[in-house]
């Protein structure tokens, strides 16, 4: 593979021999470590995913993710720094995203509505690229779209990460696959998949629709305290129900509610709702989501600019009356 092969010795040095203090994430895949990797100009902060190779899936996921990150490079897909494949270890080294993952910031009021819109646009743009756009001969079905797999770099640009469950496919209209292995996490899985075990771009779009409502409502797909078996209390079905009853305003995160311009809210909510359509043929493409989110941002920015101009004009008029 034409990418940087990093020695196990260098990764051990970077992560203090995979110390618990350097561990920043863990899951079925293994553990994720923050480290300072030596290079010619000093040190570079990286994230190293040490895969669990106790079963064959870890090895498969390792080579699949390397292939995807090598072939599908985009500003909104996490960057690949290198890999290690020695002494039985399988380690992928990524660019480090210092502003954490989106799931940790959903109920943070300092993450403004404008910034949330920009994050949504970033993710939709990355997903549009992975889904092949209009030019690529291959596409990637992510199959695990959720807020914990959206990372934020130092400039708050969103990056799609974690391709262990992904699938590379020819970019053919309405391509779908029957797969028994469940994709995504509870709360994000397309209900149509649970009936047919068929996946397509539309399944990623459903999962992303749930993420959009997480961004708007400031809560996770399965809110704290909700029984995993009680699917009616998942955020997706709840937000969809509130939207259809024209009560979504009641569901918006209190920390940002006063910032949101009505037209921006309705445009954002409408496209998020369409992503959750029961009929997957009626769901928008990622490029259509990008367009609608950009429109929602334009409504927001235009209103704020108009407000500032109005305030400035009022101030000028007040000053003139005293001259």
Classify residue 278 by its DSSP letter. S
3-state SS string for 131-200:
CCCCCCCEEEECCCCCHHHEEECCCCCEEECCCCCCEEEECCCCCCEECCCCCCCCCCCCHHHHHHCEEC
144 is catalytic: yes
Q: Which of 144, 174, 204, 227 is catalytic?
A: 144
Classify residue 227 by its DSSP letter. -
Are the CB atoms for 40 and 34 separated by under 8 Å? no
Tell me how far CA of residue 171 lies from CA of 141, 190, 222, 242, 316, in angstroms: 10, 21, 32, 35, 57
49 in a known ligand binding site: yes
Are the CB atoms for 189 and 104 separated by under 8 Å? no
Rounded Cα–Cα distance for residues 13 and 38 (Å): 8
Are the CB atoms for 219 and 107 separated by under 8 Å? yes
Annotated binding-site residue numbers for ATP: 49
Q: Which residues are annotated as a binding site?
A: 49
Catalytic machinery residues: 144
């Amino acid at each position: 593979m034409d990418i940087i092969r990093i020695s196990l010795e260098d990764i051990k040095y970077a992560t203090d021999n995979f110390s618990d203090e350097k561990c920043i994430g863990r899951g079925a895949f293994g553990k994720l470590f923050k480290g300072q990797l030596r290079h010619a100009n000093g040190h570079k902060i990286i994230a190293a995913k040490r895969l669990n190779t106790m079963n064959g899936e870890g090895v498969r996921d390792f080579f699949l993710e390397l292939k995807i990150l090598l072939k599908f490079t985009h500003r909104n897909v996490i960057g690949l720094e290198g890999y290690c494949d020695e002494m039985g270890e399988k380690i992928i080294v990524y660019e480090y995203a210092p502003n954490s993952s989106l799931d940790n910031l959903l109920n943070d009021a300092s993450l403004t509505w404008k910034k949330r819109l920009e994050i949504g646009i970033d993710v939709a743009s990355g997903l549009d690229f992975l889904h092949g756009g209009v030019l690529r001969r291959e596409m990637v079905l992510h199959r695990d779209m959720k807020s914990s797999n959206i990372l934020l770099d130092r400039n708050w640009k969103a990056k799609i990460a974690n391709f262990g469950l992904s699938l590379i496919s020819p970019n053919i209209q309405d391509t779908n696959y029957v797969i028994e292995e469940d994709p995504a996490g509870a709360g994000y899985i397309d209900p149509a998949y649970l009936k047919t075990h068929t996946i397509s771009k539309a399944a990623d779009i459903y999962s992303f629709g749930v993420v959009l409502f997480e961004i708007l409502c400031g809560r996770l797909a399965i809110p704290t305290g909700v029984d995993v078996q009680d699917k009616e209390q998942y955020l997706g079905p709840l937000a969809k129900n509130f939207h259809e009853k024209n009560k979504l305003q009641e569901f918006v995160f209190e920390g940002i509610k006063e910032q949101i311009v009505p037209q921006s809210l309705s445009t954002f909510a409408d496209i998020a709702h369409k992503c959750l359509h029961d009929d997957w043929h009626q769901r928008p493409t990622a490029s259509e989501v990008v367009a609608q989110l950009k429109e929602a941002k334009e409504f927001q920015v235009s209103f704020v600019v108009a407000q500032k101009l109005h305030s400035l004009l009022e101030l000028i008029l007040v000053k003139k009356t005293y001259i």
